[in-house]
Structure 1
Amino acid sequence: MVKSRVLAALCGSALLAGLVATTPAGAAPVVNVCGGAVADYTGVSGLDIAFTGSATHNGIDRPLTITPQLLGSNLVKVEIAGGAGDSRFAIGNLEIRSNASGRGKILFPSYAGHGWSTDLSCTGTRVTRIIGKIEVADQRDPIDFTVTR
């Protein structure tokens, strides 16, 4: 029984080694240009300041903040006001996706679902503005937002 487990483990290792060896040699790593790394949102040598702005629907602005929680972590607090005295938040991990040109896009938690970027602005690779969509509790469709720092 032990021999069969060892043999199965060795065969599995050989199969994985074969998969690694068949990775295309010409595939170059994506170089971060704007928003393709966690540090672009949270900070490099210290925790960065929050993104602040608003989500807008039918001419009504709702204050919105996206605040990094830990240096070197993708944990963020996303807080949006639904009205006077009606602030809601979610704390969770932002997800970064980077295209071949090195530009990132993010997906993050919100109280009513998720938010995501549609455009980023950077100084170097540090993200300074995020434009996107966010799901809110009182609307069926996501609404537009812009936050800066």
Structure 2
Amino acid sequence: MIDMISAVQELSGLTARELSEMLKESDSFVLQSKAQAGGPEQVDMEKLVSSLPLHLLAVSLDIGRVSDLTYVLRGVRFLHCLSELATRHTKLEQLLLDDVKLSEQVMDLIFFLLSVLSHWKKEDHLGASPFIHSSLVAGSLHLMTSYFSSQWHELVHILLAHPKVSSR
């Protein structure tokens, strides 16, 4: 089992360049990172990447604290960083961009986040600053453009094909 929360918190703090270097140096797509206790920890990137969208969706379903909202924002930004790095790392590209099931999970995550965040009222922010809320909305939209297409006219077709849009 992979400790998703620790892995996301630690790896999302890296720059894209640092993460790219770690991926290049890794054997069998396993990264060495320092655990919070100080000892080395191995992170299987294949497991992390393949479970990240569903993990973030699960955390989003039960947002009850400001730290949860901040963690989801961190996870969305990390997913965006991974999608940018995918063009430079074949294994990451195969996992993240070529897997139709994973693409559907990312789209579901984006739709769910935007749906939930659009219904929040100022008094329901769980003490979070409007900046965190706005950043999560922007991060979700930015993830859509980096993960699927940077061309908005192409995104229209993707959005209209999604079952949550066509059912309304």
TM-score over 0.5 (shorter chain): no
Larger helix fraction of residues: 2
Decide which structure has the larger Cα Rg and report it.
1
Relative to total residues, which structure has the larger strand share, 1 or 2? 1
TM-score for the superposition, normalised by structure 1: 0.21
Using the size of structure 2 for normalisation, the TM-score is 0.20
